[in-house]
Amino acid sequence: MHKYMQDPAQRFSTPENSTHRRYEALRALFVDHASLEEAASRFGYAAGTLRNLRAAFLHQPHQPFFLPDRRGKRKPLPGPDRDERILALRNERNLSAAEIAAHLTTQEALPVSATTVARVLKRAGLPKLWRRTAAQRTAGPAPVLAPVADHRALDLAPRRLRTEFGGLFLFAADLARIGLDDMLRQHGLPGSAMIPPGCAFRSLLALKLWGIGRPSRVMPETLDQGLALFAGLNAVPKRATLTEYSCRVDPRHCPALMDAWHHATRSLGPDLGGGRSFDLDFHTIPFHGEDALLERHYVSKRSRRQRGILAFLARDADARLFAWANASLRKDGQNDEILRFAQAWRERTGELPAELVFDSRLTTYANLARLHQLGIAFLTLRRRTPKMVAELLSAPAADWRKVTLSNVGRIYRTPRILERQVRLKHYPGDIRQIAITDLGHEKPTLLLTNQMRAPAARLIDRYARRMVIENTIADAIDFFHMDALSAAVPLKIDLDVQLTLMASSLYRLLAKRVGNGFEIAKASTIFRKLVRSSATIDITPTEIVVSLGRRANNPLLLAADYAATREPIPWLDNRSLKLRFF
């Protein structure tokens, strides 16, 4: 006989579950008016616990308080079967602990935590997988090894492939017309039987044209067949191979290659590289390390001096591209670099530059005199001293006059100027000085020029356009990654600067043809709106057909006759390149 049949009152005094126990304890408090200590002792509670139960009951007057606990006992997971399945997923599919737990829970209705999976793997002696990015994690087999780059293994059999780098083929026809492969061979650029110089250069140039920076992953683009096809290879060379190639390029080859590239691009666009007026500037490529041979130079973006490589850049003001560069400067020769550029330009084109525009730190007054003797017009700033500023501000108001500018923001279109002919140390004769106020600066700006009869407004407009070179250099740093330390592939500086000049020229060619405001756009804008496009590539016995994806600005490329391209591509078995737009 059941014990409760002998004394049914025991069912109330000795509860069997927590809900009944809680009920009887609170009933004793509120109905039987037992003390807190008495009720707690009778039903096996601590006084504090029962006090909390009473408070919870009083704060929930309108909610059920004595519902049974619905939580049941968890079913034990099958131990050996589960462990075998975990080990099988690791060995067959190379999944991580988190991926195995997610797969068993969602796909096989076998709920298990990542911690449990990790414990099983550890017990089996299997190590953790390496840390991978989202792009590298896959539910498939172990990572695929990329093939070794070899242009002899390039497969041009009829087939179709998909690429994320379709926009690169907008530049392929120009590279074919320029004859890049022949140019590189003529100037002795290194190569090998597997990776000829043209293929190596196009691989590096493709990274520049696509603006690829240092990603968290290690060049997954290596597996993109379209990128390899653009270079003329079966696969893009690895980072180490490309870096090693840059070390093999003799820096003495770069100036001659730069001249050859300039003449070749002018044959495609006569208005490119006319070379009459140039904006000049220095740029320090910072070096983060210890090297006793490297000097300290001023880094404008950090407002400090640090070890780095000083590069001299000349930008064609009309063509809006870098026309000349030198990345092998030393401090003791930087002041004379402007004269070396003038001489190098005469050797390249047969003529001296017509006009040079630069800031006050680029050279010395003595070199200004030499430029004047050579018949080169120049426009630069003069460093202000407190005495100069005081004299200018004390000049009679009648000596100042207003001029109207056309190339400056609306608020500063009518500055006041004061013109004088002054004498400078180490500069024989007079030089024209134009002091400018109401131009957005607290102190007057001083322009120096040997153009004695040119209208002052035109000179001020021209120097204002010179300020664009700083934005252009910033664009080259940000998009073309001219600072080698921020690039996907660490390169020797000379080759990196040469590739930047080449990429800049190709972008300007594209922008000139398209028009519609792209002539003055930054490379990053041109890339975003015109170049960045995936594509489907059909390889036929006679053609390489690149079908670019739908983009809002594709009509501009159609209007520029890019769809009419039928250029034989030498590095692709002379098959004709055909571009299609949807």
Measured between alpha carbons, how far is residue 84 from residues 53, 97, 124, 138 in Å? 46, 14, 10, 21
Angle, vertex CA 359, rays to CA 354 and CA 365, nearest 5? 80
Give 313's strand partners. 281, 325
pLDDT, mean of each 10-residue run, the chain (582 residues): 57 74 85 87 86 83 59 52 85 85 83 89 83 58 69 92 93 93 91 93 90 54 84 88 87 88 82 77 77 70 74 85 85 91 91 92 93 94 90 90 76 87 90 89 90 91 75 71 57 83 90 88 90 94 93 92 92 94 84
d(CA 90, CA 101): 11
CA-based Rg of the chain, rounded to a whole angstrom? 37
The amino acid occupying position 530 is L
Q: CB count, 10 Å around CB of 97?
A: 23
Question: What pLDDT, in 10s, does the model give residues 394-424?
Answer: 899 889 999 988 865 557 788 899 999 999 9
**pLDDT score, position 196:** 94
pLDDT of residue 139: 46
In this prediction, residue 488 carries a pLDDT of 53
The dihedral formed by the CA atoms of 454, 457, 463 and 464, expressed in degrees to the nearest 10: -160
Which of 209, 324, 210, 320 lies closest to 261 in space, CA to CA? Answer: 324
Distance CA(274)–CA(284), nearest Å, equals 27
Exposed, middle or buried: residue 441 (CB in 10 Å: 0-12, 13-18, 19+)? exposed
**8 A C-beta contact, residue 195 and residue 245:** yes
Q: Are 277 and 378 in contact (CB under 8 A)?
A: no
Show Cβ contacts of residue 21 under 8 Å, excluding neighbours closer than 6 positions. Answer: 15, 43, 44
* Pair 448, 380: CB distance under 8 Å: yes
CA distances, 290 to each of 43, 493, 530, 577 (Å):
77, 17, 41, 48
Q: Which residues, 6+ apart, have CB-to-CB distance to 267 below 8 Å?
A: 177, 178
Instruction: Note if the pTM is more than 0.75.
Output: no
pLDDT value at residue 317? 83
27: left (phi over 0), alpha (psi -120 to 50) or beta: alpha
For residue 88, give the H/E element and its range: helix 79-93
Query: Looking at the DSSP assignment, which residues form a beta bridge with residue 544?
Result: 539, 577
Q: How far apart are CA 531 and CA 510, in angstroms?
A: 10
Angstrom distance (rounded) from CA 88 to CA 287: 49
